[in-house]
Amino acid sequence: MIWGVVAGMAIYLGANLYLFIRLWQALGELPTPWRVLFAMLFWLLSVALFVAIAARNLPLGEVVQRTLFTLGSWWMVFLLYMVLATAIMDVAHAMFPQLQHGVWYALGITTIVLIAGNINYHHPRIESLQIQTDKPLDELRIVALSDVHLGYGTGRRALARYVDMINAQKPDVVVIVGDLIDNSIRPVVEARMEEELQRLSAPKGVYMVAGNHEYISGIDACKEFVQRTPIHLLRDSVIRVDEAVAIIGRDDRMNKRRKSVKELTDSTDKQCFTIVLDHQPYDIAQSDKCGVDLHISGHTHRGQVWPISWLTDAIYDQSHGYRKWSSTHAYVLQGLSLWGPPFRIGTHSDMLVVDIKHKK
């Protein structure tokens, strides 16, 4: 783990150094004071997100915290695409020396990509899944969402829009599959976001499991916040929605003592249609082995942006979307919102509407 962090930081530092050198060269004709100002701004942006996360519980003030978080998260994606585009332009210049000012072409390409990615992020998709079952249940509509990441990145205005989207689907049940909170509970409480969550409308209940970010934010503080909303937090527990449907909520794998899928399903009525909510999609095979009817996870975001999506697809057996295992219907959400930079490039934000019907 520690070597992975070290390697990641080394790559990040190297990318920043490469881009800084190329931009410094491109600004060679500017007066020295302007170049010094550029250098200060560049390195401030490169560390802004780390400062915002490290100081998330310090009394720096909302404006300072939000500014650091926004600038730092935007910088992450800008750096990724700017380095890729600049490297391509450098190779093209080596092959075709007449091609000049490649770094400025790279800046233009990166700007266009980021604008498109931001627009894509703000238009989440509503995905649909129909399931027919032999279990003796009436029709049931579930709206499932994950990774809202409320905080400095996803504020109250965005949450209000999400609540309207959810209610418009007229769900019987709403399930939130972890990471409702981002890095700190403080901005969520200060913005009184529980008032928006109180508008959630689902006659058979709103249920949630914790994600890794609930633990990052402080699981006890998140639990206290959730208690002020209509949301029922399930932590290694089973709840009967009605006589025919049971929701099994697993605690996040950051809890090293959490129960296994088998332990939770063994205590569940086998005649029920069983739904497992598990934030991180590592144990879908176990749900399938235990005969779970529907497994829903989130967490991956599918990497949020290309080419990180390739890495995510390689890590998880099911990194996003729907898959029918031998007996289990499984869906991995990419997230209604996201962590950090507000861009979806090669991925999309999503919400799932599941209609479950008795097989005639």
**What residue segments make up the domains of the chain, in order of their start?**
2-121, 126-358
173: phi then psi, degrees, rounded to nearest 5: -135, 140
pLDDT of residue 1: 60
pLDDT of residue 171: 98
| SS3 of residue 127 by DSSP | strand
pLDDT of residue 3: 79
Query: Closest Cα to residue 336, out of 206, 163, 209?
Result: 163
Region of 175 (left: φ > 0; alpha: ψ -120 to 50; beta: rest) is beta
pLDDT of residue 349: 97
Q: Which amino acid is at 340?
A: G
Provide the CATH number for the domain formed by 126-358 in this structure.
3.60.21.10
pLDDT of residue 359: 83
From CA 81, how far away is CA 111, in angstroms rounded? Answer: 9
Q: Quick one: angle between helices 32-54 and 2-26, nearest 10?
A: 160
Spell out the per-residue pLDDT of the chain, length 360, in tens. 677 778 888 999 999 999 999 999 999 888 999 999 999 999 999 999 888 888 777 777 778 888 888 899 999 999 999 999 999 999 999 999 888 889 999 999 999 999 999 999 999 999 999 999 999 888 999 999 999 999 988 999 999 999 999 999 999 999 999 999 998 999 999 999 999 999 999 999 999 999 999 999 999 999 999 999 999 999 999 999 988 999 999 999 999 999 999 999 998 888 899 999 999 999 999 999 999 999 999 999 999 999 999 999 999 999 999 999 999 999 999 999 999 899 999 999 999 999 999 887
Please state whether beta strands 273-277 and 329-332 pair in parallel, antiparallel, or not at all (unpaired): unpaired
Kindly tell me the sign of the dihedral angle through the C-alpha atoms of 160, 166, 169, 170: negative
> Which H/E stretch holds residue 175?
strand 173-177
